[in-house]
Structure 1
């Protein structure tokens, strides 16, 4: 934030009597842009559910930003019963970025396919965390001639449960 804008915001808060942190949307450094400041860093560790009802539990990351967890999908093209599957991933450290990018791989325990997810963790002005993801699913096929139909792509939005 530009120092003059910060000073003006402080004066406005003093005039109003108080300001909740993050309650003012102030101009960013560029012309015509607004600030998207958040309440704090987005933390990946915890339980998340997407719009389809799939659930994942992510562990706390280590010092290098690596994490693990489990993924229980709510949807599948497999005829086998759905089972929770292990995942492994990494993210940019939140001490460097408040809303980190991340990626993880799920090797499905009930089918011969693998899915990779990439995305970013976002915190809105009210402190709600969401994970915006894009994924590629690679299904095993019988021959190279069938490779054209082996990959699916999609998007999911996850919301924190706890």
Structure 2
């Protein structure tokens, strides 16, 4: 019985020794850089580091406020009056492009934005082109911080034009995208856009 045990134990012992040798060899093959990288990953994933990183990221982020003058990639401008405590706002939109037969005029806009602490709020607004067209546009978007900390508005829009009959409904709505950047700073107490700004 003891001889049989030693015969069985011999291959098991050889196998365990081989595994141990592989583990030692594998550990020896890990470079200092890999060991340092592993140690750094453990340190940066610690609770202290994550809370520190989150705290400083939050404190350096400024809240996006749509108040002020904005211009998009087509040259259209919008002036947003003061955003209230609920995120509601109004203003004036002066489009640079139109298919209407009448001359372009600044038109009223009204909208709402989320007042998120991380500063990258979503928003939406409607423009009534009642001064020169029978169309209405709705914009939705989000505010992002650019490389220099400047605010950038990425928007998508739907434009609904009036049609004379139901069969023409298929061609009545257009869609597109625009990017807005802030133009200067809004003066304290300014509530409506000047003609020069538009």
TM-score band by shorter chain is 0.7 to 0.9
Change (3 A) 1:115 1:4: same
- What is the alpha-carbon distance in structure 1 between the residues aligned to residue 170 and residue 59 of structure 2? 43
Change (3 A) 1:82 1:38: farther
Higher relative contact order (CA 8 A, sep 6+): 1
Deviation above 4 Å: which 4+ runs of structure 1? 5-8
Q: Over the residues paired in the alignment, what is the CA RMSD in angstroms?
A: 2.4
**Could you state the TM-score of these two structures normalised by the residue count of structure 2?**
0.63
**Could you state the TM-score of these two structures normalised by the residue count of structure 1?**
0.77
- Match for residue 3 of structure 1? 48
Q: Which structure 1 segments of 5+ residues have no match? A: 9-20, 23-35
Deviations 1:99-155 (A, max 9, x none): 110000000021000000000011124211110000000000001110000000000
Deviations 1:11-58 (A, max 9, x none): xxxxxxxxxx87xxxxxxxxxxxxx99641111100000011000000
- Match for residue 91 of structure 1? 113
Q: Which structure 2 segments of 5+ residues have no match? A: 1-44, 185-198
Q: Is the 8 A contact 2:61 2:118 kept in 1?
A: no
Name which one, 1 or 2, has greater alpha-carbon Rg.
Answer: 2
